Amino acid sequence: MTKVQVKDLTFEKSITSAEIDDAISGIAGRINKDYEGKNPLFLAILNGAFIFAADLLRKITIPCEISFVKYASYSGTLTTSKVKELIGVGEELKGRHIIVVEDIVDTGITMDKLLIDIREKNPESVKLACFCFKPEAFQKSFEIDYLGLTIPTEFIVGYGLDYDGYGRNLPEIYKLVK
CATH number for the domain harbouring residue 45: 3.40.50.2020
The verdict on residue 5 lying in a domain is: no
Cα 59–Cα 62–Cα 66 angle in degrees, nearest 5: 75
The verdict on residue 53 lying in a domain is: yes
**pLDDT at 31 (0 to 100):** 98
The enclosing H or E element of 27 equals helix 17-34
The verdict on residue 102 lying in a domain is: yes
**pLDDT at 83 (0 to 100):** 65
Q: Each residue of 62-110: pLDDT tens digit?
A: 999 999 988 776 555 555 566 666 566 778 899 999 999 999 999 898 8
How many domains does the chain fold into?
1
The verdict on residue 167 lying in a domain is: no
Q: Is 21 a catalytic residue?
A: no
Residue 67 belongs to what domain range? 16-153
Q: Active-site residue among 21, 34, 103, 106? A: 106
The verdict on residue 125 lying in a domain is: yes
The verdict on residue 123 lying in a domain is: yes
When pLDDT is averaged across residues 131-160 and rounded to a whole number, the result is 96
- Sheet containing strand 65-75, strands side by side: 78-87, 65-75, 41-46, 97-105, 125-133, 146-150
State the pLDDT confidence band at 6, using cuts at 50, 70 and 90.
Answer: very high
Instruction: With beta carbons less than 8 A apart as the criterion, state whether 21 and 10 touch.
Output: no
Q: Each residue of 13-29: pLDDT tens digit?
A: 999 999 999 999 999 99
Q: How far apart are CA 33 and CA 134, in angstroms?
A: 26
Q: Each residue of 48-65: pLDDT tens digit?
A: 899 999 999 999 999 999
